[in-house]
Structure 1
Amino acid sequence: AGRKFGFDETTTDSDRIFSDERSDAGVISTRHDSHAHFVLQALKAGKHVFVEKPLCLTLDELAEIEGAYIDALTPALSQGEREYRGEAFSPGGGEGIDYAGTRPLLMVGFNRRFSPLVQKMKALLAGVKGPKSFVMTVNAGAIPADHWTQDPEIGGGRIIGEACHFIDLLRYLADHPITAYSQSG
C-alpha cells in the first residue's frame, strides 16, 4: 500500500509508527485479525486512522474500539454527549466528526460507496421520501475452504470479510441507521 499510494515512509514496526510525532495518521492494510489491535494502538496515540475492512472480527474488539474512540473524543465532549455514545457517532452521521482535525478520525475502507455509479444511485434516491427497501444479489467467486479469509479467527469468514461491503453499501444508499427486528415461532 505504501508504494502504491506514494507514502514517504513504510515500516512493519507499529510502535515506531504510532509513537512518531511527525505522523498524524495511520493506514492499516494488514490481515483482518490484526486490524483491531492496530486501530486501538493508533487511537490511543491520537492518530487519525484509515483501516481496510473489516474494522474488527469480534463484538469484544468492537466495544474496545468504541471505548477508545470515545475516550479520544472525551476532552471535547459534553457530559451528555459522553453518556449518549449513540447516533451522534454512527457511521455516516457526521455529527461526531471534528473537521478541524483536533481529534482522531476513524474511517473503515468501504470503497463501494465512492464509485461513480453508486454516487449516481445516491443522487437519484435523494428524492425518495420515506423508507427505502433494497434487495441485493451477490454472485461472488469461490474461495477455497482452507483460505485464510475463511477462518473465523483470522479472516472473519465471508460475511465479515466480504459481505460487509454490501451491508455498508445498502446502509449508505438507505441513508438511515440500521434497525433490526426479529421474531421466533
Structure 2
Amino acid sequence: MEPLRAAIIGCGQIAGKHVAAMAELEGALTLAAVLDLNESRLLRFAEECRPIYPAVRAFRSVDELLEKSDAELVVIATSSDSHSELALKALRAGKHVLVEKPLALSMREAREAVAEAKARGLKLAVSFQARYMPQLKAMKAAVEHSRFGAIGHGVVKMRWNRSLSYFKESPWRESWAKGGGLFMNQCIHYVDLLQWLLGPVQSVYARAASFGQDIGVENTGVAVLTFQSGAIGFIEATTNAYPASLGTSIALFGEKGSAELEGALLDKVALWQFAEKDAVPVPQPEGISHTPLYRDLAKAIRSGAGSLVEAVDTLPALEIVFAIYRSIASGEVVKLPLNQFEMRGMSWME
C-alpha cells in the first residue's frame, strides 16, 4: 500500500515532532508538503525535512497547498486561533485533518468542523497523543473493568515553568482571545485525560491568577470538576514553578484501587495498588509521542475505522476548558453542557 501523503501547515517547534513521528513509521506516511507564512522558517524547515523526505514541496499559501499538493492528510500546527478555520478549509478541499489542540475557540466552531468531516466522510482528529501511552491505557482499562470500585476522586498536578520570553516570542500565547492561557494551551491534555478516565462532567468551578509575569493570561490556577458519576476531580496547574518544570501527575482513588502516574512525561508509576492483585498488572510506561497517534490515524484513514482521537470524542475536554474560563471570569460554578461559548473577544479577567 502506498504511504499516506501528509502536509503540515505551520513550521514551528511542534511541527518537528510530527515529522519525527512520521519517519518512525517506516513508509506508512510520507511528507508531501509544508507551509508557513514566515518565509525563512518555511525554507529552513523544508530543508531540514528533505534528508528524509526529498520530494517535500514548500508552499506559501493555504489555497495553493490545498489545490496543488497531492496530500491526503493535512496537519494543522499553527497558532490556536487559526485551527478551526484551517480545518474547515482543508475538509472542504477533501482532505483528512489532524489538528493540534485545541480544535477551536468556540463550541460552535468545533461542532461545525466535526459536522463537516462527518458529512464528507473524512477523518478529523485532535492531537491528544497522551491517550496512547500504555500506562494511561492500563488505567483506562482498570476503570472500564471496575477494578477501582467506586472512584471518589481524580487529581491532576501540573507544575511547569515557562519563561516570560516564551510568551513574548509568540504573542498569541498570552491572549485568551487567541487561545493562549494555562488551561487552554498547556493543561488541556490533562483535562482530556481526566475526563477520558472518569466520564462526563456535570459542573466546574475554577480560580486563576498570574504571578510574577506581566502577561495577559493566567499562569496559575485550580479547577474542581464534579462528574456525573459523583466523583470529584481536582486540577492544580502552573507554568510559574521555580526553578524549572517539576513534572506532572495524574491519579485516581477508589474503594478497591488507587493509581498514580507522574514524571515529566507521566512515565513513572508512583502508585499502582488494587484489591485484585493479579487482575491489574503494573504497566511498562512509555514516554509521550505522536508516533502511535499517526499509526492509529493512518490505519483509520485507510480502513475507515475509528481512531482514539476522533475530534467528536475530544469535544468534552474542550467544553470543560471553556467552562473553566467562564468560571474564572464569573467567579461562579458553571454547569455543563455549554450551548454557546466564545474565547474570541475575551481578555484576561475582563
Kindly state the Cα deviation for residue 27 of structure 1 after the two structures are TM-superposed: 0.7
Paired residues in the alignment total: 152
Aligned to 2:133: 115
Kindly indicate which of the two structures has a greater share of residues assigned to strand: 2
Deviations 1:90-120 (A, max 9, x none): xxxxxxxxxxxxx211110011111232122
Unmatched tracts of structure 2, length 5 or more: 1-14, 24-30, 37-60, 205-331, 334-350
Return the alpha-carbon distance in structure 1 between the equivalents of residues 183 and 90 of structure 2.
26
- CA shift for structure 1 position 26: 0.6
Looking at structure 2, the residues matched to 143 and 111 of structure 1 have their Cα atoms a distance apart, in angstroms, of 25
More helix by share: 1
What do residues 55-106 of structure 1 show as CA deviations (whole Å, max 9, x unaligned)? 112234224324423433xxxxxxxxxxxxxxxxxxxxxxxxxxxxxx2111
Match of 1:137 in 2: 157
SS at 2:202 equivalent: coil
2:84 aligned residue (29, 36, 41): 36
Answer whether contact 2:130 2:136 (CA < 8 A) is retained.
yes
- Name the amino acid aligned to 1:124: A
Verify: 1:19 aligned to 2:67, yes or no.
yes
User: Conserved in 1, the CA contact under 8 Å of 2:32 and 2:71?
Assistant: no
CA distance in 1: counterparts of 2:201 and 2:194, whole angstroms? 13
Deviation at 1:46, TM superposition (A): 2.2
Q: Shift of residue 21 of structure 1?
A: 6.9
Cα gap change, 1:138 to 1:160, in 2 (>3 Å): same
Question: Match of 1:86?
Answer: none
Letter of the 1:26 partner, please give it. Answer: V
Q: 2:176, 2:161 → 1: CA distance?
A: 19
Distance of 1:33 and 1:43 partners within structure 2? 17
Pair 8,43 (structure 1): closer, same or farther in 2 beyond 3 Å? closer
The one-character-per-residue Cα deviations of 1:6-47 (angstroms, maximum 9, x if unpaired) are 513323421133234732211111111111111111121221
Cα–Cα, structure 1 residues 122 and 67, in superposed 2: closer, same or farther, change >3 Å?
Answer: closer
Are 1:156 and 2:180 counterparts?
yes
Question: Share of identical aligned residues, percent?
Answer: 28
Distance 2:189 2:179 in 1: 15
Matched residue, 2:32:
8
Which structure 1 residue ranges, 5 or more long, are not aligned? Answer: 73-102
Give the secondary-structure state (helix, strand or coil) at the position aligned to 2:64. helix
- 1:104 and 1:131 map into 2 onto residues whose CA distance is 38
CA contact (8 A) 1:57 1:160 kept: no
Of 189, 192, 196, 1:172 maps to 196
What is the TM-score of this pair, normalised by structure 2?
0.38
Q: CA 1:143 to 1:154, structure 2 compared with 1: closer, same or farther past 3 Å?
A: farther
